[in-house]
Structure 1
Amino acid sequence: MGGWVYILTNKRDGVLYIGVTSGLAARMMQHRAGTGSAFCRKYGLKTLVYAERHDRIEDAIAREKAMKAWKRAWKIELIEKTNPGWDDLFDTLV
């Protein structure tokens, strides 16, 4: 079973949250309903600005752990490389 690594934010250059899931659509619905993570609920993180598909969930988990250790500047660079407008990708990916 595959998986997704994703980044949520509340605004451009705002708070970032990196997560991993096997079902991106269902997980995004949880975040948007306020039943995702307490951290996302606290900071209003509902905008999907980055998503990366992996064939194996284990690879997605490893990538999530690596990305969480990155410097903030690297995370922003990754987002802006694929989504320079920080657009909400939910409707295009899910």
Structure 2
Amino acid sequence: MEEKKFYVYILSNKYNNVLYVGITNDLKRRIYEHKNKFIDGFTKKYNVNKLVYYEIYNDPINAITREKQLKDFRREKKVRLITEFNPNWEDLYQKIL
């Protein structure tokens, strides 16, 4: 039996001036939903659909804790985290497919 994974992710828009932190148990599906604007709300309104950062967890409690931590980060700290992980702020969606 395959172990369940949980993902904490950060999306941006094409200008990299909007950031969104989310959590999911299926990163491919969730990013697809954001890209195709299936989900009403912040990401649809501000066209935030570029995957720039993600972390993988085996435990949902740890993933939820990390999501809350990232949401509390100041923008500068999120930018630093993304830049260390993804220096060119590329859309990582194709790499996770």
Shorter-normalised TM range: over 0.9
User: Please, what is the CA RMSD of the aligned residues?
Assistant: 1.1
Give structure 1 stretches of 5+ with no counterpart.
Answer: none
Percent identity reads 38
1:25 alignment partner in structure 2: 28
Q: Which runs of 5+ in 2 are unaligned?
A: none
The TM-score with structure 2 as length reference comes to: 0.91
Deviation per CA, 1:36-73: give whole Å up to 9, x if none: 34100010001000011011122111100011001110
Written as runs of structure 1 = structure 2, the 5 A alignment for 1:14-93 is 14-93=17-96
Q: TM-score, normalised by structure 1?
A: 0.93
Give the count of matched residue pairs. Answer: 94
The structure with the largest alpha-carbon Rg is 2
Q: Which consecutive segments of 4 or more residues in structure 1 shift more than 6 A?
A: none
Alpha-carbon distance between aligned partners in 1 of 2:40 and 2:23, rounded to the nearest angstrom:
12
Tell me the distance in 2 between the aligned counterparts of 1:10 and 1:35: 16
